[in-house]
Amino acid sequence: MTPRLRQASATAVLAIGIVFTSGVARATAPPVGPLPRGQVTDVATRAGSLIAIALPPATRAGFVWRLARPVDPALAVQVSEGTVGRSAVVVFRTKGMGHTSIAFGLTRGERPTAIQAVTYRLTVTGR
């Protein structure tokens, strides 16, 4: 194995390790506790659609939006997230038909106490 190939292999192994480690770190965050009353939005779409949820900007330093409850993976799965301007945007792909809620809580880092909540009641119909 040439030195260049050995370095490329080591870099690939390191990158894979970082990806798996970061996934484990997120999985160990404590769940978000009870949610305060907040905005509730009804969304209806067809299976196979993408829905983008733009969360309000966090008004305090150190606070982040976190998915507060599991989403039924038979109905919707998260495919992307990012920042647009000052808003966090989370994108889901709808899968099967039915109803589910997508709830987010605004917490200080990974603490369980939410100071603000946003919920989307999702109805997915046939294709």
Q: What is the mean pLDDT of each run of 10 residues along the chain (127 residues)?
A: 45 37 50 93 96 92 94 96 93 96 95 95 90
**In this predicted structure, what is the pLDDT of residue 126?**
81
CB atoms closer than 10 angstroms to residue 83: 10
User: Could you please report the per-residue DSSP string of 57-124?
Assistant: PPSSTTEEEEE-S---TTTEEEEEEEEETTEEEEEEEE-SSEEEEEEEEEEETT-S-EEEEEEEEEEE
**In this predicted structure, what is the pLDDT of residue 1?**
52
**In this predicted structure, what is the pLDDT of residue 2?**
53
Q: In the sheet that 87-94 helps form, which strands lie side by side, from edge to edge?
A: 50-55, 87-94, 76-84
**Separation CA 83–CA 65 (nearest Å):** 12
Domain boundaries, the chain: 1-30, 31-125
| pTM attached to this predicted model | 0.74
- Token readout for 100 is 């589910």
β-sheet bridge partners, residue 104? 67, 118
CATH class of 31-125: mainly beta
- Token readout for 28 is 């160990």
